[in-house]
A and B are shown apart, each in its own frame.
Chain A
Amino acid sequence: MLERRSPLADLIEASAAGMHDQHAPLILGEQALGALWQVAGWQDFETAVEPVLSVLGFAGLGDHRSVRVSAGTECYRIAPDRILLRCLDVGVLSAALNKAPPGRLAALDLSHARIVIRVSGEATVDLMPRLAPLDFAVPTFPIDSFAQTGIHGIAVLIRRLSEEAFDLLVPVTWAVSVWEWVCENARPFGYGVEASPPTSLGSLPHP
């Protein structure tokens, strides 16, 4: 099996070599996405998806702002009839998706469609408002909330991990541009780059 290769691999490797200051006010890096699947349905979506969510340990669909985490799986409700499931263990997702009632859900592998840029450090509170038109104050964008928005004109999903850390789920083909844009906006604060090669994961079986 070949390794998945992030389009940011070379950029991060080169940057990390010269910018390894782990005490910088901003630390930028890439995280492993793992498996990312979109599950969609229609009028009976809530009922249809329940067996899948139940296997994963989720009760109900949740709201459209909060990331729910259960046993290593994250659930993002990205539309009334669509959720994203993210998990480092492909097998867990596969098992859950097998519980889907025939013909009532549409499952779609997006594990190669996104990469994860992680932004952390004390200056994230200053950096994030330069990236997206959202209020990133903790009361309005609390930990474990997420938003689908745009960075540099590119559709991204932003998740808050802590007061000073965010994950940006970025389309793979735009990843280099978004990374460079994040770096450009981080420049006034000073930043370090953390080398963290993504975990190698094969693609899931075809639906």
Chain B
Amino acid sequence: MTASRLPTGGRIDRSKPLSVTFDGRPIDAFAGDSLASALLANDEILVGRSFKYHRPRGVFSAGVEEPNALVHLRTGGRHEPNARATMVEAFDGLVANAQNAWPSVRLDVRAANQLLAPFIGAGFYYKTFIGPFRGTRFWMFCERFIRRAAGMGSPGTLEDPDRYETVNLFCDVLVVGGGPAGLSAALAAGRAGAQVVLVEQDAQLGGALLSAPIGDPSDAWLEAIRSELSAMSNVRVLTRATVFGAYDHDVYGVVERVWDHVAAAPEGQPRQRFAVVRTKRTVMATGAIERPLVFGGNDRPGVMLAGAVRSYVNRYAVLPGRHMVVATNNDSAYATARDLAAAGADVTLVDARQTVPDELASQSRAEGVDLRPGCAVLSAKGRGRVAGAVIAPVSEEGRATAPGKTIACDLIAVSGGWSPTLHLWSQRQQKPVFDAEKACFVPAGDTVPTMTCAGDARAAGGLATAIADGFAAGENAVIATGATNAAGHVPEAPEPWPGDDWTRGIAPLWTVTRADGKPAGKAFVDLQNDVTTSDIDLAHREGYQAVEHLKRYTTTGMATDQGKLSNVNALARMAQLRDAEIADVGTTTFRPPYTPITIGALAGNETGHHFRATRLTTIDEWHREHGAVMTEAGAWLRPWYYPEAGEDVRAAYVREAAHVRQHVGIVDVSTLGKIAVQGPDAAEFLNRIYINGWKTLPVGRLRYGVMLREDGFVFDDGATARLGEHDYFMSTTTANAAPVLAFAERLLQTAWTDLEVHVTSITDQWAAIAVAGPKARDLLATVVGDADLSREALPNNHFTHGRISGVEVRVHRMSYSGELAYEIYVPALFGRAVWEALIAAGGPFNLKPYGTEAMGALRVEKGHVAGPELEGRTTLNDLRLEGFASTKKPFVGSVLRNRPALTDADRPTLVGLEIDGEVGALPGSLLFAAAGPTEGRGEGWVSSTTYSPALGRNIAMGLLKNGPSRMGETVRVVDFVGDRTLKATVVSHHFFDPEGERQNA
């Protein structure tokens, strides 16, 4: 043999030769070739190794169903494993390599696995191996090698340099499949004026018609339809695109391989595009996939699907062999035999049917085909590739009725019938039904009202029927969307060929066996996953007879195959074993994706810098311009610290925090959640959502509040100011801004519909700047106009309006740091200007900015709870906040907070920890008594930790069992991750200025 390029013919462009390599060897290819056709044209028959046994494998198909020819594609960051060579368009510079083989596909040492075949049958990986030594140790050791020996391609580890994108498409009618039925459907819908999206996975429209010989009558038909469609502005054609998933509400996932057919996409262009298609109606013209025949050695390189062989001959001008056996049980393979004979091959056609349609028989014999009805291939001979076929007469069940005879051949083309491609239809939660007459599963009626299957996708019949069926489906889809234009007449079908209807007279043939009912050698049901008939038999013997169990136990139908080739033959085998009908065995569940898609396409351009949106305060640029090191706080980026002269974070935050205590500091707190609470019932709303009372809060005042979830755990805290009679300004923690708003909105719309209140996020409307330190008032007095900031006029928990550089601002007197402090709320777009005005005015007061790390240190010194303590599992009692809870009114969580589990005196309670030594504790460290075992979860944990410049030591906050009664006790702080134990003294969590004299100054 023997595969070779034909001197003429094909739909390739011989004027455009391409440079392609496979395993480092140059491959002659032309524009229009697939990688598989180019490999065959260069007689590269051995292209892969099988999943488990590492048996030699060759190209088997010409489409998405390819189980064998999976290759590594491209190099560097564009490396792509498991690419099906049949779906890869050849391009200049294409580099492909065999995968799952070492050192090479031609000499793969792991082929030794075949010697272990008796031990590694179906389900061996589910079993527990014991011995030969003690327990399972030996086998656990072996497992790593077993795993390495099995598998498919290797993923790349380099960054993908290509660009991907996502787009949303909307249409009236989505047509999936650009074959005769799909083209007809799109034509009907397009003529009627509907917005149509036609999706075809091939680079060209035409489907099976592209496999017809050049000059076939179908060429003219195809050209006419293409031309009419391209003239319609309401029809969008997506080629090189695959509908991989069908979802509820008529949403479909499509991946368009925009620039996969070149070495690299042009600058800025996406390599692939993920399209989310929303449609009103769908026509599934997805065609059918030819089924293999199951016989001994049916996986040898040189065994191929008959339809694929026809494609290679007619579309790619590749003759895959010279001496061929075509084995079939239906009419469709006759076209292959005819075209092979016309291309100069010796063809023996074995048809398992006892009776062959007369016109096919006479026509085939007239064209030189050696037709042998009532026969089948019992086994394929040869080692690295097919060298012969053992042919025997068979019964209707596929059992040999006489000894076989070997025919020398270099290719066996098989057709066991066809399986409609109903994966997408089935993904809409539908189970297909088995049509015994057509020997295939078909969609069940109109069970998805917005979806119609047409043509081969519902086994409609031959070409003329498919065209009429598709056209009718398109017309009906349009009617349902309300379009009114006439679709006109069905395009006249090309003259039919007598063998174009594979459903006619098909004789099911599931496994060809010897007279004793056993295959003549390893007979593969699932080529990709190395599942043989004996594996199905084993699953049956071991009780895995239900179809879903069968799949899991044997792995049949997994990986890229997804049942395309293996499904029906495996089910049929199980049906035979169970003495049941195939319909009773049923099918597995089809799930997206129908064919493999890249993660890159799904991610689109939401990667790297665009992985997610980032939130920036309006003062952000100033921070960066002044050297701030930024840190993530949820979606926000905030200044972490402002290093001076090579400071690291520790040196910087210690300096910054100390500066605030000694002088005055400024920090951007715009990230605080801000919610406008408005309406006549706003005070009542606050009374219900917060644990403390709000009805008496006068205008001009603000109050600290805590809110619980319904289950009684602490949810969030913050200060709320009363701006007007019905107008409140609520602040939340940065992290809980959105959850609190959603919580409030839910309560108002479901539980408290009696309240006239609106809540609106105003986080974006207001920038917020905190000025803290002993000199804060003095500084602000120089810069805030129209306001009296004196202690008497503006005591703690009051606010006033003022102006800074002409900008109206609101000054809240409140402290997070424990120092004399103010929060200045500024209309956001003036945020930077006001910040800069404060910085300018702050010179004489030694004003310096500080970041979140110093802010955290200051709050830990004060013992204020924050995110690490408000973590969803703590109660008011745990956090020593129970004193805030009103006893005079109900509030959210007021009932369930009194559950016994939440009032248990043994619950860990907030304490302060003074750490011994120079090393600080890490958050998450566990607390254990000074003496006693270091077992279990300990008696508590460290929540927040810092070095305190004010105290000159490391301190921490934590929750400790019976905390308040353990003041002065020494505990151990154990960091299991870092394997370090510290000692700490339990103290009040109000480390610094517990009386609050500084903040009330």
Contact = CB atoms under 8 A, between A and B. Distances in A.
Interface in A153-177: 153-154, 171-174, 176-177
Contacts, number: 143
A157 to B, nearest CB: 13
B762 A113 contact: yes
17 contacts: A2-B805, A2-B833, A2-B834, A4-B827, A38-B760, A103-B725, A109-B765, A112-B765, A113-B828, A129-B170, A135-B168, A152-B606, A174-B615, A176-B614, A176-B616, A202-B807, A207-B724
A31 B723 CA distance: 31
A28 B616 CA distance: 21
A109 B766 CA distance: 10
Most B Cβ at <10 Å: residue of A106, A180, A181:
A106
Interface string A107-150: 01111111000000000000001101111010010000000000
Nearest to A176: B616
Given A129-B169, A153-B613, A180-B609, A5 B832 contact: yes
Interface in A168-207: 171-174, 176-178, 180-181, 184-185, 187-188, 190, 202-203, 205-207
B225 to A, nearest CB: 25
Which are the 8 A-B pairs with shortest beta-carbon distances?
A106-B678, A135-B170, A4-B829, A177-B613, A113-B764, A2-B833, A113-B765, A112-B828
A6 interface: yes
A181 B610 CA distance: 7
Given A2-B834, A137-B170, 20 more contacts: A1-B807, A2-B805, A3-B833, A4-B829, A103-B680, A106-B727, A112-B765, A113-B762, A113-B765, A113-B828, A114-B764, A135-B168, A140-B170, A152-B613, A173-B616, A180-B609, A188-B268, A203-B807, A206-B801, A207-B727
B616 A112 contact: no
Contacts of A153: 612-613
A3 B723 CA distance: 26
B68 interface: no
B766 A112 contact: yes
B863 interface: no
B279 to A, nearest CB: 11
B187 to A, nearest CB: 21
A130 B165 contact: yes
B620 A177 contact: no
A130 B167 contact: yes
Contacts of B725: 103
A3 B837 CA distance: 13
B195 interface: yes
A154 B808 contact: no
Contacts of A181: 610, 613
B454 to A, nearest CB: 25
A7 interface: yes
B311 interface: no
A187 B268 contact: yes
B270 interface: yes
Contacts of A133: 168, 276, 278
Of the candidates B618, B832, B833, the one having the most CB atoms from chain A within 10 angstroms of its own CB is: B618
Interface string B157-174: 000000001111110000
A108 B170 contact: no
A138 B765 CA distance: 33
Contacts of B676: 106, 108
B169 A172 contact: no
Nearest to A109: B765
B767 to A, nearest CB: 8
B936 interface: no
Interface in B594-613: 605-606, 609-610, 612-613
Interface residues of B, number: 58
Contacts of A140: 170
B679 interface: yes
Given A7-B620, A112-B827, A185-B605, A207 B723 contact: yes
A77 interface: no
Interface of B: 165-170, 195, 268-270, 276, 278, 605-606, 609-610, 612-618, 620-621, 636, 670, 676, 678-680, 723-727, 756, 758, 760, 762-766, 801, 805-808, 810, 827-830, 832-834, 837
Nearest to A139: B195
A33 B169 CA distance: 30
Contacts of B727: 106, 207
Contacts of A81: 758
B610 A152 contact: yes
A181 B276 CA distance: 18
Contacts of A132: 168
A179 B15 CA distance: 46
A113 to B, nearest CB: 4
Given A176-B614, A184-B605, A203-B808, A82 B763 contact: no
B613 A2 contact: no
B726 A111 contact: no
Interface of A: 1-7, 10, 38, 40, 42, 81-82, 103, 106, 108-114, 129-130, 132-135, 137, 140, 152-154, 171-174, 176-178, 180-181, 184-185, 187-188, 190, 202-203, 205-207
Nearest to A79: B758
A173 B805 CA distance: 23
B195 to A, nearest CB: 7
A81 B760 CA distance: 13
A113 B829 CA distance: 8
A181 B827 CA distance: 25
A9 to B, nearest CB: 9
A1 B809 CA distance: 12
Q: Output the residue of B270, B605, B763, B801 with the most chain A CB within 10 A.
A: B605
Nearest to B724: A207
A41 B618 CA distance: 30
B722 to A, nearest CB: 13
B192 to A, nearest CB: 16
B268 A7 contact: no
A35 B528 CA distance: 64
B168 A108 contact: no
A108 B828 contact: no
Contacts of A38: 760
Contacts of B617: 173
Given A154-B613, A184-B610, A188-B269, A173 B165 contact: no
Nearest to A131: B168
B764 A6 contact: no
Which one of A2, A81, A130, A137 has the highest number of Cβ atoms from chain B below 10 Å of its Cβ?
A: A2
Contacts of B612: 152-153
B756 A172 contact: no
A201 to B, nearest CB: 9
A2 B764 CA distance: 19
A185 B606 CA distance: 11
A133 B169 CA distance: 8
A7 B269 CA distance: 28
Contact of B167 (A129, A137, A184, A203): A129
Contacts of B801: 206
A181 B611 CA distance: 10
A171 B278 CA distance: 28
Nearest to A172: B764
Contacts of A187: 268
Most buried by B among A114, A173, A184, A206: A173
Contact of B270 (A111, A112, A114, A188): A188
Contacts of A129: 167-170
Contacts of A174: 613, 615, 764
A177 B764 contact: no
Contacts of A154: 613
Contacts of B764: 110, 112-114, 171-174
A207 B677 CA distance: 13
Nearest to B765: A113
B730 to A, nearest CB: 13
Contacts of B763: 173
Nearest to A103: B680
A164 B6 CA distance: 52
